[in-house]
Chains A and B, each alone.
Chain A
Amino acid sequence: MAEAQNFPAGSTTTGSIAVAAESTVATRMSAPPSFDVADFPVPHGREEEWRFTPLERLRGLHDGTATATGGGVKVAIEAPEGVTVETVGRDDSRLGKAGIPVDRVAAQAYSSFEQASVVTVAKEAVLTEPIRIAVHGEGGVAYGHQVVELGAFAEAVVVIDHTGDAVLAANVDYVLGDGAKLTVVSVQDWDETAVHVGQHNALVGRDASFKSIVVTFGGDVVRLHPRIAYAGTGGEAELFGLYFTDRGQHQEHRLLVDHNTPHCKSNVAYKGALQGDGAHAVWIGDVLIQAAAEGTDTYEMNRNLVLTDGARVDSVPNLEIETGEIVGAGHASATGRFDDEQLFYLQSRGIPAEEARRLVVRGFFAELVQQIGLPDVEARLLDKIEAELKASV
């Protein structure tokens, strides 16, 4: 018996906080997944998957007019011993194994890149140092593809840093062998003019665990699409996200966890703070529990903290359940404001205004940051949050 349940999003409190009408994972797609950009019509903005995105600010990534400039984005990979780093052509058989592009820009990226990089961690290799991938934009238009593949029982941490200015459409594949453990920290610390769109696919092997920390601070438009599927039973995925959306920025995170295999787990927690006129954060959390995926245990959560007037949040959690034989499934979404009354309350207890704001934002993110488990990354994020606050107050 197939039974689909849709729980509409619950956003509360005042301000311009919109809750989208319920929609299903299936109806979110205006075309079936494909590697070929020609299979997707040019979006006009009213499609379910594009309706929150300011297409006019994508600089042509969505309609075929953004031509790669060559050398627009530099990628530098630093890897410890036991890791193979290769630059390969389009025909390499290891590309595209973790997932198929589901929208026009992801397909454009896949159809347009000239070279891809493939990072391979040999089976049973346990890295003590992270693999660092620096993606630096130098003002051009670029398309890219990145693969990170872990052999069985390998363990690795990958830190991807995005900096500079670019118009970039790039996809990433994470392929985890049986029992492998991969932690990925992807930091979008772009200049304020950058546009970055990408689909990040993870294919989680049997008994493997994938932990992703997506951190978005910068950019004019950042639209990321992390997607999880399982290649065998016993897989686990933890997806953490943290964003700080400033004036005029559009930061969109669209997640899909496809529970296609029995006895897998997923846990999603994304938190964002917004401040300034026209700051717009979008969070879409789709979880699909297919009929075959008995014993699934999943939870997803999105929290937003709106620090000033003029910011907008769209938060849409969505759970589709096709089997009742599961361990657990739940979701939550809430958006709250930090307002003048809260400021007054804290100040009336002797706390200066600036410290009050910092207290609230740090407290809001701390719980999430503590789950990252990488002290240098945690410290860096807290510093970055402080800097964001200072820049604006």
Chain B
Amino acid sequence: MATLEIRDLHVSVEADNATKEILKGVDLTVKQGETHAIMGPNGSGKSTLAYSLAGHPKYTITSGSVTLDGEDVLEMTVDERARAGLFLAMQYPVEIPGVSVSNFLRTSATAVRGEAPKLRTWVKEVKETMAGLQMDPAFAERNVNEGFSGGEKKRHEILQLELLKPKVAILDETDSGLDVDALRVVSEGVNRVRETGEVGTLLITHYTRILRYIKPDFVHVFANGRIAESGGAELADKLENEGYEAYVKGGASA
């Protein structure tokens, strides 16, 4: 069973010629089939956690470890991490000029699966997955993220999640900027992947709204660069009612 283990992770960034520590000792274990929601106020370090796990060059790991099934993730390049089974659905995916969605998806699936998918079954697979996300087939001929609306970008991220079938999926604020209809469609896509029982999901969000569609097994409150409190789904209800205020104050005095 695939397991992502994060131990005492410290991460810093260079900003204005100064080093700023953002993650201050994160401990978390995500197992295949589990869904963990990470919730927290702006600036608490949630997205930094997501991008550090994916290997974004902006972030420097100063101490701690991350392993996937015992393999050292931090030693891997960005593409090696993806091929090992990590997937990050980004909050702000970038435009890639000159590369069509269909070409991108096929290249990516070939890299992750280790061989080119058979053309006939692949076309069908993409078509059906796109239909499930209520995406127009013409979408495949557009350049990656070029001129996409906010909702189209998120659907495209979840399309990749469904096609690449990672062991651990990190969803960075996938719900932000979506209207209710789009949120429902995107959540259904995530749930299809979860229902296979083969993916561990790390759902990073600012709002509790998405948790009505995607039920977490665990909820973690992120504040001041670490997990401040962990609990079950009921913790989300508490946050819904009380907000993050208690944690922010706690962080400030720490």
- Please tell me if the beta carbons of A349 and B98 are within 8 angstroms of each other in the complex: no
How far apart are the CA atoms of A54 and B48 in the complex, in Å?
A: 46
Q: Is A113 an interface residue (CB 8 A)?
A: no
Question: Taking the complex as formed, is B54 at the interface, i.e. its CB lies under 8 A from any CB of chain A?
Answer: yes
Of the candidates B77, B100, B108, the one whose C-beta lies within 8 Å of that of A349 is B108
A327 contacts the other chain (CB 8 A): no
Cβ–Cβ < 8 Å partners of A336 in chain B: 97
Residue of B nearest to A335 (CB): B97
Neighbouring A residues of B93 by C-beta, 8 Å? 345
Q: Residues of B contacting A355 with CB < 8 Å? A: 107, 111
Q: Which of A336-355 contact B (CB under 8 A)?
A: 336, 338, 340-342, 344-353, 355
CB atoms of A347 and B82 under 8 A apart: yes
Residue of A nearest to B79 (CB): A347
Interface stretch of the complex, out of A61-69, A156-164, A251-259, A357-365: A357-365
Q: Chain B's interface: helix, strand, loop or mixed, by majority?
A: mixed
Instruction: Give Cα A345–Cα B103 distance, bound, in whole angstroms.
Output: 15
**Chain A at the B interface: SS class:** helix
- By beta carbon, the residue of chain B nearest A337 is B97
A348 to B143 CA separation, bound complex (whole angstroms): 17
Q: A291 to nearest B CB, angstroms?
A: 38
In the bound complex, do residue A353 and residue B98 qualify as a contact, i.e. CB atoms below 8 Å apart? Answer: no
A351 CA / B98 CA spacing, docked (Å) = 16
A305 within 8 Å of B by Cβ?
A: yes
A366 to B83, CA, bound (A): 27
Is there contact, CB below 8 Å, between B83 and A350? Answer: yes
B-chain residues with CB within 8 Å of residue A347 when the two chains form the complex: 55, 77-79, 82
Which one, A340, A349, A359, A361, contacts B103 given CB within 8 A? A359
B98–A363 touching, CB < 8 Å: yes
Least CB distance, B47 to chain A, in whole angstroms: 14
B interface residue count range (under 10 / 10 to 19 / 20 to 34 / 35 or more): 20 to 34
Query: Which residues A298-352 have CB closer than 8 A to chain B?
Result: 305, 336, 338, 340-342, 344-352
Name the interface size band of chain A. 20 to 34
Q: Is B94 an interface residue (CB 8 A)?
A: yes
CA distance A145 to B95 in the complex (A): 45
Tell me the bound Cα distance from A363 to B107 in angstroms: 12
Known: A347-B77, A349-B111, A350-B111. A360 touches B97 (CB 8 A): yes
Known interface pairs A340-B57, A344-B57, A363-B103; A351-B108 also in contact (CB < 8 Å): yes
- Least CB distance, B26 to chain A, in whole angstroms: 20
CB-contact partner of A346 in B57, B83, B88, B96, under 8 A:
B96
Which residues of B are interface residues toward A (Cβ below 8 A)?
54-57, 77-79, 81-83, 87-88, 90, 93-100, 103-104, 107-108, 111-112, 143-144, 160, 164
Other than A344-B56, A347-B78, A350-B112, give 16 A-B pairs with Cβ distance below 8 A: A305-B98, A344-B54, A344-B57, A345-B96, A345-B144, A346-B104, A348-B55, A348-B81, A348-B88, A349-B79, A349-B104, A351-B108, A359-B107, A360-B99, A364-B97, A364-B98
- Residues of A participating in the B interface, judged by any CB pair closer than 8 Å: 305, 336, 338, 340-342, 344-353, 355, 359-366
- Can you give 13 contacting A-B residue pairs, CB < 8 Å? A345-B94, A345-B96, A345-B144, A347-B77, A348-B55, A349-B82, A350-B82, A350-B112, A350-B164, A352-B79, A360-B97, A361-B98, A363-B100
Top-7 shortest CB links A-B: A364-B98, A350-B111, A363-B98, A347-B78, A350-B82, A349-B108, A350-B112
